[in-house]
Amino acid sequence: MTLARRNAPGTMRPSDLLIPTPAGLWCPPADVYIDPVRPVARALITHGHSDHARAGHGAVLATRETLAIMALRYGEGFTGQRQEAVPGETVRIGEVDFTFVPAGHVLGSAQIVVESGGLRIVASGDYKRERDPTCAGFEPVPCDIFITEATFGLPVFRHPPAHAEVAKLLESVRVFPERTHIVGAYSLGKAQRVMALIREAGYDRPLYLHGAMEKLTEFYLSEGAQLGEVRKVVAAERKTLGGEIVICPPSAIQDLWARKFPDPVTSFASGWMRIRARARQKGVELPLIVSDHADWDDLQATIRETGAGEIWVTHGEADALVHWCTSVGLRAKPLHLVGYGDEGEVDAVAEGADAVAV
């Protein structure tokens, strides 16, 4: 990252620069909110998942891809004004400098560097460190305070390499050539990443897609994602798709929709699949541990890389991560922000009827 660390001692207090409020993280000197969960006059949005990117703000500053994703999901009128944040370029609002830096989470995802009066805080949104062929990789930014999620902030969560999980899927397809493999994956990011990994593994048959994922997948394709031939599932043709791979929203794997395929193998690509009980409870026969969030080791590695002396934890397993930070001599606190969580479940609601109807 090109943002060099400043030497000047700070004059700005952290609590003057960013404050947790019920609407989200508020920056009073610029009067902007980061990923607000309620409508505000001016919002800075880290990425397009619906727990972070909501419609109805007066103005939105976000990357070009995130703005496009919001328009796809909510319609062109999702905000009064939109302003594109170019990664690595600083935008000054009031006396505060804001810089968007890739977060490696989904296409267009960014951390937001907030800097004023010699104090630098990085609000990282959601992020991961594992390579993802469909989005720019996370770039650590040296900072005074690092704000992190903790979705998988427990020692039990250590994600295996995603390509090894996808290899399990392809092996199952080889072993059961008559069965349809139905892979549940979140509509924004996970679905396209799984498809790209399937292609990287050399699978070259068409991939079949649930209709609810079509718009976002077309957007990824238009942005250069290497997904090969993708076909929309036509309801009447489901019984002819034995031996094929179908990607659908997680909510669809237990639907009647899924039972119309020949002897389906239900699969789900998620960090939560590390918990066997969760896989069983969702009726998942082939759990794939593929996550777009940092695991326990990567949360720690990232915190150390930023060199921050103080850590704020937004959502997820905040207490466990705060405890670890404290144990290694860092100041740390949970922000208790509400409204963030499992984006798959939130997104399924955001997409409404078309997520389940097709």
Return residues touching Zn ion (CB under 5 A).
49, 51, 126, 340, 343
d(CA 307, CA 303): 7
Token pair recorded at residue 222: 């238009």
Instruction: Give 339's DSSP letter.
Output: S
d(CA 160, CA 170): 16
Per-position DSSP letters for 232-260, written without gaps between them = EPPGGGGGG-TT-EEEE-GGGTTSHHHHT
* Residue among 264 and 334 whose Cβ is closer to Zn ion: 334
Q: Is 351 in contact with 212 (CB distance < 8 Å)?
A: yes
How would you classify the pairing of strands 110-116 and 96-102? antiparallel
Q: In the bound complex, what is the minimum distance in angstroms from residue 292's beta carbon to Zn ion? A: 7
296-306 helix and 318-327 helix, angle to the nearest 10 degrees: 50
* Helix/strand/coil for 306: helix
One-letter amino acid of 111: Q
Q: In the bound complex, what is the minimum distance in angstroms from residue 343's beta carbon to Zn ion? A: 5
Greatest CA separation found in the chain?
Answer: 67
**DSSP-assigned beta bridge partners for residue 163:** none
* Residue among 311 and 358 whose Cβ is closer to Zn ion: 311
**DSSP-assigned beta bridge partners for residue 19:** 26
The gap between the terminal CA atoms of the chain, to the nearest Å, is 43
How would you classify the pairing of strands 24-27 and 181-184? unpaired
- Determine phi and psi for 325, rounding to 5 degrees: -55, -50
Which segments of 172-279 are extended strands (E)?
181-184, 207-209, 230-232, 245-248, 265-269
* Residue among 99 and 124 whose Cβ is closer to Zn ion: 124
* Phi-psi sector, 249: left (phi>0), alpha (psi -120 to 50), beta: beta
